[in-house]
Amino acid sequence: ECAITPKSIVQDACASYATLEKLNERVKPALDDLTRTTDFFSHYRLNLFNKRCPFWNDENGFCGNIGCAVETLDNEEDIPEVWRAKELGKLEGPLAKHPGKQEQKKNPKRPLHGELGEDVGESCVVEYDDECDERDYCVLEDETASSKGDYVSLLRNPERFTGYGGEGAKQVWDAIYRENCFQKSSFPHSANLGMSLNYNPAAQGFKQVLDAAGRQAQLHAQRAQYPNTPFVANTGYEVDDECLEKRVFYRVMSGMHASISAHLCWDFLNQTTGLWQPNLQCYKDRLHGYSDRISNLYFNYALLTRAVAKLGPYLRSSEYTFCTGDPSEDMATRAKVDEVTKKAGSIPQIFDEGLMFVNGEGPSLKEDFRNRFRNVSRLMDCVGCDKCRLWGKIQTNGYGTALKVLFEFDNNSEDIPALKRTELVALFNTYARLSESMRAIGKFKEMVVAEKNEN
Ligand code: FAD
């Protein structure tokens, strides 16, 4: 049974479940409108195909290429070809090229109307985003690849059931949770257990620093040193919850996982009827009995609400242009963003970021926290299904942007880091995903009650 009652307070956030649900009812229509009806927020540019999984060998049978890790459906040959995991995981709609840098430089002042492909509808997309800012929590999309990536319609590629799973998906989730093993004074950063690779920006590559046996030895050493460190049920990963920062890192990952589970259960393909519909058993298996997972999802909602609300005045004062090339469209997009940020800001202090990275070992954890978050964003290149990789990348970028806004935007500082278009699009779409997950979980709960009443 889900132990959460509406009055319960979401730990580490300052709001009850009921408050967040009510807020979601207010914000959701505006957020859906923004992400579904504007060109700016319904297209995402990313490098989906040109990057290799930097953490393990693509050829060793684990994930890392489209062909592997999609063998989870029983008797896949019995399923009509269009419903097979490989097909469901493919992207749909036109992919369009980013206008080349040369072209942008020729006429830097004029908004570019690049050849963005049929129906893509995006016009101004000039961005020089290969400069890295040390305050970023995510890896820039073009960090290792020469190509500027492709535009993808998010409306035509909704996040839903794809059939991706098995060893490949497990390996990615395993690696994500392992990032939670934070540095202890006697462990260097590169010893984040299991992630035995050191990123070397100059060489744009990874250096292996420990083999599997080394990792195992380290794990044992750490366990011996910290025997009371609790284990997370079911995952087996150590969650070091002695301070807020480490707890928040775990909650963000688990909340993202819970949100992905909610979507794939809500928008599930019934392979008998060929209809897309909610799958109650899927929800029961992954979320219903796990109040901690649902709590983490709500926590993420509070975190993103706070980031979006905080960003509102900044977007207003900087008169951020949504560069459609058409002033009236630009104004309409800005008005929609304004509506979302104001509604998100209607509950003051939903999450107090001022408590993080200040006390005890907090300040020294910030860089570690950022590095781990970047590792998670790199891990998205190991996701072996195109659509899952797309949404995995959007959501890690969305959380990374939220963290950047919360922890790197100081209202009294002149030096506010710039937000790139992809970061803004990711932030608002990740918020919309969480909003949709909360709604889906509410409906699933009603279905559970209805089922009980029937019996
Ligand atoms: P998994 O969801 O793979 O979970 C693995 C283990 O993690 C579980 O056994 C449990 O012990 C633990 N766990 C589960 N949930 C949580 C939680 N919230 N917090 C903490 N621990 C938890 N599939 C799709 O159909 N559509 C998608 O869009 C999609 N996107 C994905 C994106 C990414 C980045 C990844 C890595 C996978 C994605 N998948 C997607 C696959 C999906 O998440 C599952 O991995 C797959 O459905 C297999 O599920 P499972 O039941 O084996 O458990």
Which residue owns the Cα nearest ligand 1 atom 37? 169
Q: Which of 153-157, 374-378, 430-434 has the highest mean pLDDT?
A: 430-434
pLDDT mean over 283-312: 94
Burial of 173 (0-12, 13-18, 19+ CB in 10 A): middle
> Among 53, 282, 382, 388, which one carries the catalytic annotation?
388
Which H helix or E strand runs over 153? strand 150-153
pLDDT mean over 205-223: 38
* Ligand 1 centroid, distance to 192 Cα (angstroms): 22
* Ligand 1 centroid, distance to 169 Cα (angstroms): 7
The percent of the chain in helix, strand and coil, each rounded to the nearest 5, is: 50, 5, 45
Q: Is 385 annotated in the active site?
A: yes
Q: In this predicted model, which residue has the larger pLDDT, 297 or 407?
A: 297
Pocket of ligand 1 (CB under 6 A): 159, 161-162, 164-165, 169-170, 172-173, 234-235, 254, 257-258, 260-261, 264, 293, 383, 387-388, 391-392
**The pLDDT of residue 438:** 97
**The pLDDT of residue 10:** 67
Q: State the Cα–Cα distance between residues 282 and 288, nearest whole angstrom.
A: 9
Share of the chain above pLDDT 90, in %: 31
Burial of 72 (0-12, 13-18, 19+ CB in 10 A): middle
Phi and psi torsions of 413, nearest 5°: -100, 145
Radius of gyration from C-alpha coordinates of the chain: 22
CA dihedral 381, 206, 427, 436 (to 10 degrees): 40
Which of 157, 174, 257 has most ligand 1 atoms within 8 Å of its beta carbon, as the pocket-test mutant?
257
User: How far apart, in Å, do the first and last CA atoms of the chain sit?
Assistant: 17
* Ligand 1 centroid, distance to 134 Cα (angstroms): 30
Q: Is 124 annotated in the active site?
A: no
The answer to ipTM > 0.90 is yes
One-letter amino acid identity for 167? E
Residue ranges of the alpha helices (H) in 38-125? 39-42, 85-88, 101-106
Which residue owns the Cα nearest ligand 1 atom 7? 235
Confidence of residue 65 (pLDDT cuts 50, 70, 90): very low
**The pLDDT of residue 110:** 36
Q: In this predicted model, which residue has the larger pLDDT, 12 or 120?
A: 12
Confidence of residue 75 (pLDDT cuts 50, 70, 90): low
Least confident of 98-107, 154-163, 189-198: 189-198
Confidence of residue 409 (pLDDT cuts 50, 70, 90): confident
Least confident of 125-134, 185-194, 239-248, 387-396: 185-194
Q: Look at residues 329, 334, 295 and name the one whose alpha carbon lies nearest to residue 437.
A: 295
Task: Count Cβ atoms below 10 Å from residue 321 Cβ, excluding itself.
Answer: 14
Q: In this predicted model, which residue has the larger pLDDT, 380 or 52?
A: 380
